[in-house]
Amino acid sequence: MIQAFGLTSSSRKELPPAVDDVSFEARAGRITALLGAPGAGKTTVLRLMLELQQGRGITHFRGRPLHRITHPSREVGALLGDVPGHPARTVGGHLRMLCAAAGVPVRRADEVLEAVGLVSLREERLNTLSRGMDRRLGLACVLLADPHTLILDDPHNGLSPRESTWLHGMLRAHAGQGGTVLFTTSDPKGAARTADHVVTLERGRLVADQDAAEFARTRLRPRVAVRSPHAARLAVLLAKQARTSQRSVEVVREGGNRLSVYGGTCADIGEIAFRNGIVVHQLADEIGDMGTGAEGRAHGVDSTAPAAAPRPGLEAASSADADAPAHAPEPSSCSEVGAVISPEPRTACGPGSVSDAEEPAAIGPSLSFGQPQLPEAEPRECPDASSANGTGDGSAPGAGPSLPMLPHWTKARTAHTLDELPTLPPPISVRSAPSPLRPLRYEIRRATGISTGFLIGAGVLVVSAVTAVVLARIGHTPQPRLLAAWPQELPLPPAALGAGLLGALAFGDEFRHPALAADRGTVPRRLGLLAAKLLVSSTAALLLAVLAVGCDAEVLYLVYGRELAQVPVDWLSLSASWIGLVVGCAWAGVLAAGVFRSTTAGLAAVAAVPILVVPVVHKLVNGPSVRTAAGLPVRLRETLLPRWPFGGERYLEAALKLISQPVGGALTLSLTALLCAYVLTALRSRLR
C-alpha cells in the first residue's frame, strides 16, 4: 500500500509550488486513479513519491520509504513515459538486458512477454512498435521484477478503446493478486470506470479523495446541492413537480438536511421553495467533471452563519454540513461559497454568506427564500476535524490513515489557534539512479544487443586493410606501422580510433537511451558498472587489435606477397605496445564519455591524446629543467637488486618502456586524469 504525506514540490523564482501539501493513500488490492486536468501536478506528485524530484514530504511503500528499500525495482514498478531503449534493439533483447539490471533470471523476459501478449513480437525492433505495443512493452518492463506496486503516468494516453480495455484488465489482475496500482489520468469518466478509488488534484492541491462510486455520483453528474431544515418536505415537492412537468429529475437524500437534485436548476428549486414557504440554507450548482476546461463550480447562498476565518491547510471556508460529499467549488456570478473537501462525513465549519458586491472575506446579510432575513450569527469555531490535506480524519476506506497514525507535521494541523503554523514535512532528496545488480551480464547484453558494435568493427577492418595496401603502394613505411595501418600523418591508426569509438558508445548510448535511469536522464556512476564497461570494452578492443593486424597481414600477402607480410623480430614487445595502445584508447573513450555524458566527447578525448597531450608531455620531459626519463627502466632495474620470482622484473621493464614512450606516457596520464574525474563525479553525486 502507498501512503503519501505532505508532498510539496520546490518552488522556483517566487512562483507557487506545482504541488502543495498533497496527502493520500492507495490501498493494496485496489486500483487508485490520480485525476486532474493537464497541469494539475499529477506527474510531479509521482516524481516526488519516487524521489525523482526535490521537495518536501514522505511516501511509504508498505511502511518503508523508497530510499530504505534495498532493491526498489522489486517493490515499485514505475513507468512515467515511453519505453526508454535503443530504437534498434529488439523487444526480447531489451527485456533480457533489463533482466540483468534487475537481477532476475532471463526466463522472466519470456514470461512477461507472454503476459502482455508480445511473444510474437520478440524479434521486432523498438522503433517499429505502435503506441499500443509500446505501452504493452512498458508494462512488461514494469512487471519484470514482479513488483508489488505499479505506478503509471497516464497509461491510457494514445490507446484505442480495445487497448485501453486490455490495459484495464492487466491492472485489475495485478490488483486482484493483492498488488497496489496507482495511475494518473485526465479523463474523469475513465477514472470512474477503471479505478476503485479516485484522488482528484486541482492546481497542485488535493480537492477530493473518494471511492469510485461516490466520485461518479457526486463529480460526474451536474447537480444542485440543497440544504434546508425541511429537506424531506422539499424532496416530496420536487418529486411531485417533476412528475407534473414530466421531467427527469432525481432527488437524493444525502442525510440530515441535505439534498442532491440531479436534472434540476437553482431557479426552479428556489421558486418551489419560495412558493411553499420553505427556508433554504444553501442552494448551489455543482459541476464536478474534471475534464479539460471543466472544473468544479458552486453557486449558492447561505443563511446560517458568517464565514469562518480560514485556517492553515484549508483552501476555503466550509459551505457544506457534516454529510457533504467532496467537491471543488470556485467563485462565480452568485455568492461565493467555499467547500471543505472530504471523502467521508465529518463536522465542518459553518458556511459563509457572501454577496456578489462584497469582498470574499466580508460578512454580508444572509438570504432565505420566502422568509424574513435572519440576524447575523456569531462566528463559530471550527471543530478539530481537519487533516493535512483537508480531507477529514481519513478513517474511511482508501481515504488515508487516521490522525493517530499520521506524522507529527500532519497532526500539527489540528491546532485551534490561527497563529500556530504547522511544521514542515521532511525534505525529499533525489534518490541516486540504481546500478544494475549484474553489471557484467548487463553490459554484455547491452553491447551485443544491437549491431552498432559489429558494424564499427567491420568498418575498421575494411579501412585498416585498404590503408595498409595504400601505404605499401606508396612505400617508405616501416613494417610495424604497415601491419598496423598507421601512417605517419595520422595521430592514431583506424583500429585505435574504432576501439575508442566503441568505448565511447559504452556510456554514450546510456545517456542517449537511458534504459537504466530513464526518469533521471543519467546513468549511475558506480565503480562496479564502470569496471564492467572497462572489461567489455577492453575485450572488444583486444579482438579488434588482433583482427586488424591479421587482416592487414593477409591482405598484404595476397596483394604483394610474403615479403610485406613478414612478422617483425621484436614482435612480442611490439604486440604489447599495440594492444596497450588500442585498449588504452577504448578505456579513454569509456571514461571520457562517462564524465562528459557524450559519445562525441569520448571520441574527442581519444583523439586529443596524440594531438594535444603527447606534445605537452614531450615538451615537459625534454625541457631544460626536467631530466629525461629515458634511462628510468635501467636505473629502476639496478635499484631492484633482488630478482623477482618467475622473471617478473622483465615484465616491469617492458611496462616501463611502454609508459616511457610519448604516446604511452600521454595515454597513461590521460587515463589517470579521466579516472580521477570519474571517481570525483561519482562521489559528488553520492554526497548530494
- AA identity, residue 304: T
* Res. 639 pLDDT band, cuts 50 70 90: low
Query: How confident is the model over 57-95, as pLDDT tens digits?
Result: 999 999 999 988 988 888 999 998 888 789 999 999 999
Cα distance between residue 178 and residue 317, in whole Å: 39
Backbone angles phi, psi at 569, to 5 degrees: -65, -45
Backbone angles phi, psi at 530, to 5 degrees: -65, -45
pLDDT at site 637 = 54
Question: Average pLDDT of 500-514?
Answer: 91
Cα distance between residue 252 and residue 593, in whole Å: 66
* Greatest mean pLDDT range, 236-250, 568-582, 589-603, 611-625: 589-603
Which one is predicted more confidently, 617 or 50? 50
Pairing mode, if any, of strands 149-152 and 76-79?
parallel
Cα distance between residue 555 and residue 48, in whole Å: 60
Cα distance between residue 201 and residue 17, in whole Å: 14
Q: How far is CA 192 from the centre of its chain?
A: 25
Question: Average pLDDT of 494-511?
Answer: 93
Q: What are residue 201's DSSP bridge partners?
A: 206
Cα distance between residue 342 and residue 327, in whole Å: 8
Closest CA to 315 of 212, 206, 220: 206
pLDDT at site 631 = 57
Closest CA to 406 of 427, 386, 429, 383: 386
Cα distance between residue 363 and residue 235, in whole Å: 30
Which of 79-88, 280-289, 372-381 is least confident? Answer: 372-381
CA distance readout (Å), 106 to 112, 136, 411, 439, 535: 11, 19, 47, 14, 22
How is the chain split among helix, strand and coil, in percent rounded to 5? 45, 10, 40
pLDDT at site 404 = 39
Q: What are residue 198's DSSP bridge partners?
A: 33, 210
CA distance readout (Å), 523 to 63, 95, 424, 527, 532: 28, 18, 32, 12, 14
- Taking the model in full, what pTM does it have? 0.70
pLDDT at site 250 = 83
Query: How confident is the model over 607-635, as pLDDT tens digits?
Result: 888 888 877 766 766 655 445 455 555 55
pLDDT at site 563 = 82
DSSP strands (E only) in 395-465: 427-428
C-beta separation of 428 from 56 below 8 A: yes
Which of 172-176, 180-184, 401-405, 460-464 is least confident? Answer: 401-405
Query: How confident is the model over 187-228, as pLDDT tens digits?
Result: 888 898 899 999 999 989 999 899 998 888 777 777 888 999
* Res. 533 pLDDT band, cuts 50 70 90: very high
* Res. 448 pLDDT band, cuts 50 70 90: very high
Q: Is residue 682 helix, strand or coil?
A: helix
Which one is predicted more confidently, 353 or 23? 23
Cα distance between residue 451 and residue 460, in whole Å: 14
Q: Is residue 103 helix, strand or coil?
A: coil
Which one is predicted more confidently, 317 or 563? 563
pLDDT at site 425 = 83
Cell of 251: 432527488
Cα distance between residue 597 and residue 433, in whole Å: 15
C-beta separation of 351 from 305 below 8 A: yes
Q: What CA dihedral angle connects 50, 54, 56 and 59, to 10 degrees?
A: 10
| Average pLDDT for the chain | 76
Which one is predicted more confidently, 688 or 299? 688
Closest CA to 450 of 132, 125, 166, 232: 125
C-beta separation of 492 from 606 below 8 A: yes
pLDDT at site 661 = 62
Q: Is residue 225 helix, strand or coil?
A: strand
CA angle 181, 183, 186 (to 5 degrees): 155
**How does 204-214 read in b/e, with b if 16+ C-beta sit within 10 Å?**
bbbbbbbbbeb
Cα distance between residue 432 and residue 43, in whole Å: 19
pLDDT at 295 over 60: no
pLDDT at site 380 = 37
pLDDT at site 159 = 86
* Res. 12 pLDDT band, cuts 50 70 90: confident
Alpha helices for 628-687 (secondary structure H):
632-639, 648-660, 662-687
